[in-house]
Amino acid sequence: MRRVGKPTHGIRARLFYLIIVVLFPLLIIQAYFHYDRFETRRAEELQSNLVLARAVGVAFNGLIQDILRQEIAVAIVVMDTPSHLPLVLPQLLRESARNYPVRSFSWIGPDGRVLFSSKPKLEGMDISDREFFQELLSGREWFVSDLVLSKASGEPIFSIGRSVRDAKGDLLGFVLASLDAQGVEQALAFERPNDAGISLMDRKGRLVATYPAKELTWEERNWLKLYPQKLQNPLKGIETTSVVLTSTGEKRLVGAVPVSSIGWVAASSRSEDAVFGTIQSALLAEGSLFLFVTLAAFATALSLSRPISGSIVRLRDRVLALGRGDQEDLTIPPCSTSELNELAQSFSAMVEKVRNREKALRESEKRYREIVETAEEGIATHEPDGTITYINQRMADMLGYPREEIIGRSSLDFLDEEEREAVIRARESLKERGSFSTERRMRRKDGSNLWTLSNITPRRDGHGNFLGYLAMHTDITERKRIEEEVRKNREDLNRAQALAHIGSWRLDVGRNEVTWSDETYRMFGVPEGEPLTYEKFLSLVHPGDREFVDREWSSALKGKTYDIEHRIIVVNNTKWVREKAELEFNGDGSLRGGFGAVQDITEKKQVEANRALLNETLRIFNCCSDMKLLVSDTLRLLRNTSGFDAVGLRLRRGEDYPYFEHDGFSAEFLREENFLCNKGLDGAISRDAEGRAVLECTCGVVLTGRTDPNMSCFTEAGSFWTNASHEFLALPAEADPRTNPRNRCIHAGYESVGLFPVRAGGDIMGLLQLNGRNPGRFTPALIIFYENLAQNIGLALQRIMAENALRESEEKFRNLYDEAPVGYIELNSEGRVDRVNKKMSEMLGYSADEMVGEPMWAFVVEEKEAEEAIRAKLAGHEDPSIALERNYKTKNGPPIPVIIKDRIVRNGEGGVTRVRVTVQDITERKRMEEDLRRSRDELESRVRERTIELESKNRELREFTYAASHDLNEPLRKIQVFGDLLTKTSANRLGEQGREFVSRMTGAANRMQMLLEALLRYSRLETRGGDFKRLKLNDVVKGAAADLEIALRDAGAQLKIGSLPSVIGDPYQLRQVFQNLIGNAAKYHRSEVKPLIKIYGEEYEGAYHILVEDNGIGFDEKYSDKIFQPFQRLHGKHEYPGTGIGLSICRKVVESHGGTIKAKSTIGKGSTFIITLPVKE
C-alpha cells in the first residue's frame, strides 16, 4: 500500500522525463566537444609559450656569452699592457660599451674600487659590498648578479663580471659590465603574437625586463612575492606551464624555463581571452543552432504523448475513488488504445470483489481492536524505520501523551538518549531474526523515566518481506525503583567499608556459597567474581601466619570466638588484617553459616612499627657518641624493620656527598654511585653559574634543594620518591628533573626508591636513601614518617657533631690554657685567685694550690694600687684596651716585670662574676730594650760617620768620572781627526787593507766616544736631579718626539699620543726617558709592517701608569731585567747601533721619581714599557 503523503511521479511527468533523458546525452556530448577544443587549444598555447621562453633563454644566454668574450678581450689587454693601462683601457672600455647593449664597462681593482670605466663618474666607487664581487673574490671565474639598485643612478641594473688573474694565479682585478632593462629588451625582441609578453627574472624571482617594456616600481618587480607558487619550480631548474591571475584580474597562459647557466628564469605568456576568442565565437553560433533543433524536437514529442497520458489519468482517478470507498459510478469511459480498454474492463470486475472483502475485514478489525484497547500492556505498531503507526490507550497513558501526539512520530523520540543506539541496532537485527525481549528506559511527557519490559515481534508479508514490527510494553518502573534503592544501599555499604578499610563476608553452608563484599575483594587483591574456597583464602595468608589462622578457624568451628590479627600477601606486598566472625550453628551443632568482618590494619601496624623504629633509632643515637657505629646500627635496624633491600646515608664531605654508611648495596653499586660530583674530561669538578659543584642524578637534585613540589615525585619537604623507577627511562630529556641521570638504581632493579634530605638547621647535610626491588613500597604516611626520621637523624647527628666539636674545643682550650706561653689567672667576685695555669705557677714559683684562694694583690709589689684596680673591676669599671705594667713577687727570687691585661665576666643581670687576667713576663724584653737602646745609639753614631765618608767618596767618584770622560775624549778626538786626515790625504797610498784598518779605528773611536758620553749622562743624573715641579706629560712627550722627528720619519713610524696625566717631576730627566723609549721603538722595528708607537696613561690604585707600546721585533721576556742593566744589549752592534745605556737611564730616572718601570714583550709582535709614578699633590 502506498503511504499517504509520499511524493510520486505521474505518467505525464514520466513521459516528460523520457523526452529529457533522450535529449540530455546529446547536450552532454555537445558540451564535451566544446570543452575538448578549449583544453586542446590551451595545451597548444602553453607549449608554444614554453618554446618561446626557451628561445628567450637561449638568446639571453648568448648575450651573456658575447659580453663575457668581450670581457676576455679586455682582460688580455690588461695583462699585455699593464704599464699603458691609463691610456689604453678607458678607450677600450668605451668602445666595448658602444658595441654592446650595456650601460657601462668598468675595470675593478682587487679591493673593489672602480679604477677605469666607460662612464668616468663611476671611477672611485666602492662595490666591494656587492654579492657578485664576493663571489668573484672567492674564486669564481665569472658571475652574473641579481637585479640591484644602482649606487650611481638608483635605477635597477645587473652586472656581468669576470675575474682576471696572472700566470701565477694572483688576482689582478675584475672586468664588469652593467646592464639595465633597456639593454636586455634587445635580446627579447622576438617575433610573437600581438598580445604575447616575454619576461626575464633573476635568481631571487625579481623581474629584470619585459617585452614589450613596462614601467614598474621596485616592489612590483618582486614576482616571487606576487606569484610564489608559479616561480618556485623554474627557480629550482624545472620547466613549468601554468595559468596566472595577474594583479589586474587578467588570466594569462604562462610558460617558464630556467636559464641554467646563471639560475635565471625566462617566461612567455599570452592572454587567455585572446587565445580563446575565436573558439568562443564559433561556440555561440553552433550552440544557438543546436538549441533551436532540440526545442523543436521536444515540442513534437510532448504533443504526441498527451492522449496516452489523459487515458491513464482517468484510470488513476477511478482507482483512487475505489481506495477511498466512494459509492459513485466507477465505470471507466473508452480509452485511446486497446491495451487501456482491456485494463478498464478488468478493473470493473475487480471493484465488486473488493467491496465484498472490505466488509468482512471491517468486522474482523473491530473485534481485534476491542482486544488491543482493553489490554493491560501498552501495544504499538511501527514501520521498518521506527515510525509509530498505532498505539493503544494503555501505551498512551503510560507515556502521558494523547494518542494523536504519538502516532506518526519515531519511537526514538520517547527513548532516553543512552537507549537510542541500542534500539537502532536491535531494529536492524529484526530484519534477520525473530522476536526478542528487552528492558527499555523511555521518557514520559513530564520528563520522568518509564521502565518497560518490551517484547518485540517483526511483521512480515506472505513472502517474508519485513513490514515493520509490533511492540508490547509492560510497565516495570516500580520494580526498577526498588532495584535502584538496593543498588544504592549496596554502593553506600561498599563506600563505607572502603573508607573504614573494613570488608565483610557471608557463609551459607546450605547453598555452599561464600560471598565477599567489594572491599574484601580489594583488600585481598582478588578479582571480583572469582570462585572462593577456604584453600584460596589460606593461600593469601602470609606463610608465617597460615598455621595460626588455620588453627584459630578450626577452634571457631568448635565454638571459640574468632577474633585474630594476621598478615596477608597482596601482589608481593605484605598487609596486616584483623578478622572477626560470628558463626551460626544448627541444633545438632553443625555449621549453618556465618558472618564476618575484615579490617585492613596495615597503617596501624606500620605506625606502631615506625614508632618503635623511631624510638629505637633515638635510643641508639643517645647511647654513644661514635657516629660511625651508631649510624651503622641505625641503618641495619631500618633495613630489618622496613623490609627495604638497601639503605644508606650520604653525608657532606668537602663538595661531595659520599655514603657515610650503608647496608645492602653491592660493592659494584657503591663503586659507581659513591660520588656525585660531575667531572669534565680533565677530571675537574663541573660548576654552575654560581660556582657551586654540579651534583648528578636525583641525589644531586635533593642535596642541592632544587626539587619542584609541583611534580608528583617530589614533596614539599624536598624529598624524592617513586614506586616505579623504570618509568623515568621513558621521560624525554626536557621533562626529566634529574641532572645527568645515571639510572644506576633502575638498572640495579630497585623499583621503589626514596631520598629524604637530612638537615642541620636550614642546611642540607646529607640524605637518607631507601631502595626496594618491589614496586609500590611508599605510601603518603610512610613518606612523612621517613621525612621525620631523616629530620631526627639530622638533629641527632648535629647534636653529636656539636658535642664532639665542643669536646674537642674544650680539650683544645684546656691544652692551650695549660701550655700557653703566658700566664692566665681567673679571679672570683671577691678578687681571690680561683684558677691559674702552668705558666703562671712557673713564673712566680708558687704552685697552683698555694695561689688559689689568695687575694690577687698579695702577689703584686704595688699591692695597694693593685687592690684598688681589682676592686674597681669587680665594681664594673672596665677598660679592656689598657695593658698595665706591674712587678710581681716571686717565691724564691726578685720581683719580675710583667704586662697584664684583664677582662671582666658578667652574669645575666650585668653583675661582675669573674675577672680573667693575662700575665706576660717581660723580663727578657726589658733586658733586650736596654741592649737595643745602647745598640741604637752606637749605630746612629756609626751611620753618621759612614754617611759623611760615602758623600765624600761619591763626590770624588763624580769628579773622577767627569775628569776621566774629559781626559779620554781628548785622545779620542785626535784619533778621529788623524783618521779622517789619513782617509782624505793618503787613501790611495794606504791600499784596500790600510783603508779598512783606518775605518775600523775611526769606528771604534766613535763608539768609544758614544760610550763616554752615555756614561757621563748616567753620572750626571745624580748631580742634575731635584728640580721637581708640576708638569704635563703630554708636553714632555711631544718635546721628545720633536727631538726624534728625523729618526721617526726615516723609520716611517707613526706616533700616537693619548691622554697623559700631570705629574711632579724633573722635565729634563723625564724627557730623556721618553726620548730613549721612542727612539728604541723606532730603531727596533720590523721591516714588513709600518712601525706604530702608542703612548697613553691611566690612573688606578693610587698611581699613574704610563704605557709605551710598539709593534716592533720584541724580545724574550726572560731578559726583561737584563735590558735595564748598563751596557747590556740583546743584539749585536752591527745589527742595531747603540750603547746599551738608554734603558738604564730610564730606570734610574723613574726610580728617582719614586716610581718603577718594567717591560712586557712577545717576539715578533712588539713590546710594552710600563712606567708607574706615584700620585703627588
pLDDT value for 434 = 76
> Among 118-127, 297-306, 1130-1139, whose mean pLDDT is lowest?
1130-1139
Residue 912 confidence (pLDDT) above 90? no
pLDDT in tens, 175-214: 999 888 766 776 666 666 656 788 888 888 888 888 777 7
pLDDT value for 1092 = 92
Residue 960 confidence (pLDDT) above 80? no
The three grid cell numbers given for residue 496, joined into one nine-digit string = 563505607
pLDDT in tens, 1064-1080: 888 888 888 898 889 88
Place of cell 751611620: 943
pTM of the predicted model over 0.85: no
% of the chain residues with pLDDT over 70: 82
Q: How confident is the model at residue 940 (pLDDT cuts 50, 70, 90)?
A: confident
The three grid cell numbers given for residue 533, joined into one nine-digit string = 574456597
Residues 543-566: what's their mean pLDDT? 89
State which fold the 376-475 domain adopts.
Answer: Beta-Lactamase (3.30.450)
Residue 343 confidence (pLDDT) above 80? no
Q: Residue 198, SS3?
A: strand
The three grid cell numbers given for residue 687, joined into one nine-digit string = 660548576
pLDDT value for 572 = 75
Residues 35-39: what's their mean pLDDT? 77
Residue 405 confidence (pLDDT) above 90? no
Q: What does the DSSP assignment read for 271-296?
A: EHHHHHHHHHHHHHHHHHHHHHHHHH
Q: How far apart are CA 132 and CA 112, in angstroms?
A: 11
Residue 347 confidence (pLDDT) above 70? no
State which fold the 38-191 domain adopts.
Answer: Beta-Lactamase (3.30.450)
Residue 327 confidence (pLDDT) above 60? no
> Among 17-21, 519-523, 745-749, whose mean pLDDT is lowest?
17-21
Q: How far apart are CA 349 and CA 1134, in angstroms?
A: 153
Q: How far apart are CA 209 and CA 183, in angstroms?
A: 9
Residue (of 368, 412, 395, 390) closest to 469 by Cα position: 390
Residues 108-123: what's their mean pLDDT? 89
Q: How far apart are CA 838 and CA 697, in angstroms?
A: 56
pLDDT value for 531 = 82
Residue 902 contacts residue 873 (beta carbons within 8 Å): yes
Cβ-Cβ contacts under 8 Å for 1172 (sequence gap 6 or more) = 1103, 1104, 1105, 1106, 1155, 1156, 1157
The three grid cell numbers given for residue 1026, joined into one nine-digit string = 731635584
Residues 1147-1167: what's their mean pLDDT? 88
The three grid cell numbers given for residue 1160, joined into one nine-digit string = 712586557
Residue 3 confidence (pLDDT) above 50? no
Residue 751 contacts residue 741 (beta carbons within 8 Å): no
Judged on CB neighbours under 10 Å (0-12, 13-18, 19+), 682 is exposed
pLDDT value for 5 = 45
Residue 326 confidence (pLDDT) above 70? no
Give the CA angle between residues 1109, 1113, 1116 to the nearest 5°. Answer: 90
Beta carbons within 10 angstroms of residue 21's beta carbon? 9
Q: How far apart are CA 656 and CA 95, in angstroms?
A: 83
pLDDT value for 743 = 87
Residues 12-37: what's their mean pLDDT? 72
Residue 240 confidence (pLDDT) above 60? yes
Single-letter residue type at 772: G
Residue 382 contacts residue 388 (beta carbons within 8 Å): yes
Q: How confident is the model at residue 2 (pLDDT cuts 50, 70, 90)?
A: very low
Q: Residue 772, SS3?
A: strand
Dihedral of CA atoms 847, 849, 854, 858 in degrees, nearest 10, equals: -10
Residue 959 confidence (pLDDT) above 90? no
Domain spans of the chain? Answer: 38-191, 341-374, 376-475, 482-600, 613-808, 820-921, 1025-1174
Query: DSSP character for 126?
Result: B
Residue (of 320, 60, 346, 84) closest to 211 by Cα position: 60
Cβ-Cβ contacts under 8 Å for 638 (sequence gap 6 or more) = 613, 617, 644, 647, 663, 770, 789
Q: How far apart are CA 757 and CA 721, in angstroms?
A: 12
Single-letter residue type at 189: A
Q: How confident is the model at residue 482 (pLDDT cuts 50, 70, 90)?
A: confident
User: Could you confirm whether domain 482-600 is CATH 3.30.450.20?
Assistant: yes
Q: How many angstroms separate the Cα of 838 from the Cα of each of 808, 824, 846?
A: 20, 8, 10
Residue 1023 confidence (pLDDT) above 60? no
- Choose which CATH entry (3.10.440.10, 3.30.450.20, 3.40.50.300, 3.10.450.50) describes domain 820-921: 3.30.450.20
pLDDT value for 525 = 85
Cβ-Cβ contacts under 8 Å for 127 (sequence gap 6 or more) = 108, 112, 113, 114, 133, 151, 176
pLDDT value for 92 = 83
Residue 497 contacts residue 518 (beta carbons within 8 Å): yes
Give the CA angle between residues 774, 776, 780 to the nearest 5°. Answer: 140
Residues 819-848: what's their mean pLDDT? 86
Q: How many angstroms separate the Cα of 194 from the Cα of each of 187, 468, 794, 1016, 1133?
A: 18, 74, 97, 102, 90
Q: How far apart are CA 668 and CA 698, in angstroms?
A: 19
The three grid cell numbers given for residue 211, joined into one nine-digit string = 617585452
Q: How confident is the model at residue 1170 (pLDDT cuts 50, 70, 90)?
A: very high
Average pLDDT, the chain: 81
Beta carbons within 10 angstroms of residue 1155's beta carbon? 19
Q: How far apart are CA 333 and CA 342, in angstroms?
A: 12
Residues 299-307: what's their mean pLDDT? 67
Residues 82-93: what's their mean pLDDT? 80
Residue 976 confidence (pLDDT) above 80? no
pLDDT value for 1171 = 92
Residue 699 confidence (pLDDT) above 80? yes
pLDDT value for 93 = 86
Q: How far apart are CA 846 and CA 993, in angstroms?
A: 100
Cβ-Cβ contacts under 8 Å for 976 (sequence gap 6 or more) = 1002, 1005, 1006, 1009
Domain 613-808: what homologous superfamily?
GAF domain (3.30.450.40)
Could you tell me how far CA 1085 lies from the centroid of its own chain?
A: 52
pLDDT value for 71 = 84
Residue 501 confidence (pLDDT) above 80? no
User: Could you confirm whether domain 1025-1174 is CATH 3.40.50.720?
Assistant: no
pLDDT in tens, 380-403: 888 888 899 888 888 888 889 998
Q: Is 613-808 in the same CATH topology as 38-191? A: yes
Residue 967 confidence (pLDDT) above 90? no
pLDDT value for 345 = 66
Residue 170 confidence (pLDDT) above 90? no
Q: How far apart are CA 277 and CA 274, in angstroms?
A: 5
Place of cell 519515531: 410
Q: How far apart are CA 565 and CA 568, in angstroms?
A: 10
pLDDT value for 645 = 93
Q: What does the DSSP assignment read for 679-701?
A: B-TTSPBPB-TTSPBPBPHHHHH
Residue 6 confidence (pLDDT) above 50? no
C-alpha count within 13 angstroms, C-beta hemisphere, residue 668 = 4
Residues 446-464: what's their mean pLDDT? 85
Is cis: bond before 90, omega within 30 of 0?
no
Cβ-Cβ contacts under 8 Å for 903 (sequence gap 6 or more) = 878, 880, 915, 916
pLDDT value for 187 = 63
| Residue with more model confidence, 40 or 543 | 543
Q: How confident is the model at residue 1 (pLDDT cuts 50, 70, 90)?
A: very low
Residue 724 contacts residue 775 (beta carbons within 8 Å): yes
Q: How far apart are CA 175 and CA 107, in angstroms?
A: 5
Judged on CB neighbours under 10 Å (0-12, 13-18, 19+), 53 is buried
